[in-house]
Structure 1
Amino acid sequence: MVALEAWFDRNAEGPTIVHTPAELDAVLDTVVTWNAPITVQLLTAEDPGHVLLDVGLDARTGRGVLYYFGPDKPDGCISKGDRTAEPPPIYYFTGSDTEFPADAEIPLAEARRAAHEFMDNGGGWPDGIEWQPRWD
């Protein structure tokens, strides 16, 4: 398990450092209560920028998105869901928006599980998720 920097609140002066699964749940729960498509960016606290996992959560739809970048996926990859959204989903990160592919959304529980797996495996690529190449 590794400590993570969680970036999600544009009004915060810096990241929220999470050391335990309960602290990670607290961050994810906070974002879900905002009731909008919001992205939490997770970085390993010891080496920020080496790997990252963006976890988009939208309580209104019960869906989420993932974007992973790391040495094992230097071009990045995006979650691939079993549905197509029209229009393609947009998630917000500290005030800026990102449009994801129409088939990027997965169940909210899977997005949360991937965040915990990222923490548990030291910032490695979460498996058990279907992935697709990142968009250009």
Structure 2
Amino acid sequence: MLDHPHHELRQGHPQPASGPLGLRMKNAHGQFNEHVSPRLRQISNAVSVSWGDRTTPEDGWKVTHYSIQAYYREEHSCEPSVVRTSEDVDALIDDLATGPEFENLAVLHSSEREALPSGFPDHEFMVGADGRRQVGVLSFVAEKNFVSLGSSVSEGGTVTYFVSENPTEFPATAEIPLAVVRQAAQEFLSSGGQRPTCVQWQEPEVW
């Protein structure tokens, strides 16, 4: 199935969110911020190791076959999950939607994009799924921060999703139908890690 979590981005660019609204994993000097739990620190360090050790697959997969690393459970800090097929994407979304309440948000990275000099990926795609309400959230971080834009007219307010029990808050307006979340995750895989075009996006003022 899948593989991967948080990291630092190019110096001077926004850092991925991993805690309450507006908080980031690392500061501009690559040091962990105080709010980051030991578990997330372990996951983040695992990213740079696994990303730097990428090799050309020799198990029959073509070099052009895209894959994704995903992290959303505690064990993924040691051995991330790998998504290679459309079926894998569906299994990931189903797992988030029907699994434990505090493991309903995954951090994804595409193996097709280049790593930064630090060894970390140059992007981060977060996918959240709430199976009970049949909604979810998306975020995409590269040169800028984007979160999905739903049809909610709610003014203010946040919703919380969890990566391995660690909360991440999103604007309430970021929630979109679960079917669209699934479609966006499929597009992220098939496009080699590009920001999905099947979703409307917003640049939140604080996130």
TM-score (norm 2): 0.59
Partners of 2:187 and 2:155 lie apart in 1 by 26
Which of 80, 92, 114 in structure 2 is aligned with 1:27? 92
Deviation string for 1:31-64 (max 9, x for gaps)?
A: 2111637111110135462222100100111110
Aligned to 1:131: 201
1:39 corresponds to 2:109? no
Q: Which secondary structure state, in structure 1, belongs to the residue aligned with residue 139 of structure 2?
A: strand
Asked if structure 1 preserves the Cα contact closer than 8 Å seen for 2:183 and 2:198, the reply is no
Aligned residue number for residue 164 of structure 2: 94
Aligned residues: 133
SS of the aligned residue for 1:90 comes to strand
| Residues 68, 84 of structure 2: 8 Å contact kept | yes
Structure 1 or 2: larger strand share?
A: 1
Runs of 4+ in 1 over 4 A off after TM superposition: none
Give the helix-richer structure, 1 or 2: 2
Partner of residue 77 from structure 1, selected from 135, 146, 171: 146
Structure of higher CA gyration radius: 2
Q: What CA distance in whole angstroms lies between the structure 2 residues aligned with 1:124 and 1:77?
A: 13
Of 18-27 and 79-88, the range deviating more from structure 2: 79-88
Q: Is the 8 A contact 1:28 1:112 kept in 2?
A: yes
| SS of structure 2 residue aligned to 1:100 | strand
What is the identity, as a one-letter code, of the residue corresponding to 1:60?
R
Identity of aligned residues (%): 31
Counterpart AA for 2:68: L
In the alignment, structure 1 residue 54 sits paired with structure 2 residue 118: no
Q: TM-score, normalised by structure 1?
A: 0.87
State the AA in 2 paired with 1:81.
Answer: G
